[in-house]
Structures are given as C-alpha cells and as structure tokens.
Amino acid sequence: MKMLKMISTFFLINIAFIANATFVSIDDCKVNNVLSPASCVITNSPPAVVTPNPADNNLLTVWDEVQNFTLTSNLTVNRVFDPAADFVIDNGNGTFDIKSGTIVSSHYVQWDAVDSGARIEATLKLDSQVFGFIYSDNLLFSTDIFLGLDSINYNDFTYRGLESSDSIAFSGSNTSINWYASNPGDWARLITAFSPAAVQPDSTPPNTVDSPVGYSFILFAFTALLLNRKKRINN
C-alpha cells in the first residue's frame, strides 16, 4: 500500500509540473499611472470568444497558447528582440520573419480598456527568451489557426492590434509594455523561445509512452512493483 501511494504521488507531481504555465508573473502593473496589481491577470481559463470591448473593466489578461511548436515555415512578426539574431530575417518592410525550424511558444495579451486613451503599464515575465510580438490585425488573424488555442474563437474584427502610440521594450525573458487603448481594446501575440515549464513539445500528449514523463513513470512503477513483489516473497 505504501508503495502504491508513492507511485500515485510521483504521478501527481509530474502532472503538476506539466501544468505549469510559461507566464511567470506580471509586475509593476499600472492603470492610468496608478499602481494596480489586481488589474493584471494571468489566467488558465481564457474566454471562449475574443470580442471587442470584452468587459470594459480596465483589465490586462494574459494566457499561454500553443507551446514548443516547431515552425514548418517562416513566422512573420511585427517586432523582434534582436533583428541580428541568426534565426531572424529582416523583411525590409517593418516586419521580420522567424525562420522555419525554430521552436517557439505563443502567449496572448488582452488589454480591455474602459475609457478612451486608458493606459496600461506592466512588465510581463516569462520562463524563456522573448523573440517578438505580433500585433497587426492581419498577422494576428493569420496566426490564430496554428498558434492560438483550439478552444477559443479569436473572431475577426478591425483595430484588434496595437497602435503607433503603444510601446514595447524587450529584456531577456521580460517584456515591458506601455499601451493606450479605447474602443475596441488592444490584443497582441507574444512569441518566446522553447518553454522549459511546458514540457510537452509540439503535439506529443503528456504522460503517454512517447513522452519523457510517460517513460519515467512506467519505469518507476515497474521497479516499484518488482520491489514490492520481492518483499512479499521474502516475507
């Protein structure tokens, strides 16, 4: 019985590890220049539908999307952390391509402003290097299908992306934002490197025989059963 409890504990620990999000925290959250930590939220329950002016609540909401995805073609983004990176191509038109074969993770950022010109400032902290941002309407729409979550209808409406007055500052795995918005709000897709916390590369299901956690669990369980059987025989 004790051995079975150990196996169960091991299994639950691995499940918890897989469930870790790649957003770590949101620091220095300010709304209209006033410190407001409650106005910046990391959620594991994003909305089923992305809509203009979702709640009019001056809330910055972020969630993780597809993680550790190997690009099968170049990914066009609006901003990159380093145009000289060897996996980045400057398209010469204000956009950049992250090269095919690069492993990326995607994260969604939603700023639901109440008043015209409402301002949000915050530092988004993640567990891996920030590669870039997608924030124009056309690039958001074109990446919804393979970087967005299947459970979400990202919808199709104009002025979904950022405006020229919105600023982004990269610093390793952190990104500082300073955005103004009114109707309908601001949305952007944050692209990062391979996420250590999301231990599920590409489409490999967690805790299957094909995953590292699955192999380790099977090996542990088999060893535990053998030891338990040997103990019973000796007794």
Task: For residue 138, count CB atoms less than 10 angstroms from its CB and return exposed for 0-12, middle for 13-18, buried for 19 or more.
Answer: exposed
Three-class secondary structure assignment of 79-113 = EECCCCCCCEEECCCCCEEECCCCEEEEEEEEEEC
- Rounded distance between C-alpha atoms, residue 47 and residue 56, angstroms: 14
Q: How many CB atoms lie within 10 A of CB 233?
A: 7
In this prediction, residue 46 carries a pLDDT of: 95
Task: Please write the tens of the pLDDT for every residue from 32-71.
Answer: 999 999 999 999 999 999 998 888 789 999 999 999 999 9
Which of 50-59, 121-130, 165-174, 224-233 is predicted with the least confidence, judged by mean pLDDT? 224-233
Helix ranges, the chain (H): 2-19, 137-147, 212-234
Share of the chain above pLDDT 70, in %: 75
Task: Please write the tens of the pLDDT for every residue from 178-214.
Answer: 999 877 889 999 999 999 988 654 444 333 233 333 4
Radius of gyration of the chain (CA): 21
